[in-house]
Amino acid sequence: MLEEFLGRDVVAPIYNKGWVDVMVDVDRDTGGKALNERLKGKRSGGLPWSVILDEGGKEIVSSNAEPKGGNIGGPVSPEECAWLVEMLRRSSGEKVSAGELKLVAAALEAYSKPRRRPR
């Protein structure tokens, strides 16, 4: 779901300005499981799990939402969506504007809302 969202016409041009996706299949990619274990450590949550690294490989933020620490996975709930946008904000530097992040947030809300389970 997250990969599909990030590839959408409205989102991709913004996302591609600041980030590079590297998807690791923990079962099929050589060293994938070890890489996941090294980056994720003891944090909770299943897959998908995401981490944004700086140019030197140091973690900026992960999909374990603060302060609770639960993995947002493929974000659907308002809280999960807000955390994804916060991840992008924290890691965007000057490459992506606040206005562009608002566009991404609105697109994520529109994309996620029909996928939400009733509370």
Location of structure tokens 């995401």:
50
Looking at residue 119, its pLDDT comes to 73
pLDDT at 69: 78
Closest CA to 52 of 80, 14, 83, 90: 90
Asked if pLDDT for residue 44 goes beyond 90, the answer is no
- What pLDDT shows up at residue 104? 98
CA distances (Å), origin 62, targets 12, 28, 54 = 20, 22, 12
> Which of the residue ranges 21-25, 50-54, 68-72 would you say has the lowest mean pLDDT?
68-72
Whole-model pTM: value is: 0.92
Q: Which residue has the higher pLDDT, 68 or 58?
A: 58
Q: Is the pLDDT of residue 53 over 90?
A: yes
pLDDT tier, 110 (very low <50, low <70, confident <90, very high otherwise): very high
| H helix and E strand count, the chain | 5, 2
Q: C-alpha distances in angstroms, 11 versus 2, 7, 89? A: 11, 7, 14
Q: How many residues does the chain have?
A: 119
Amino acid at 89: R
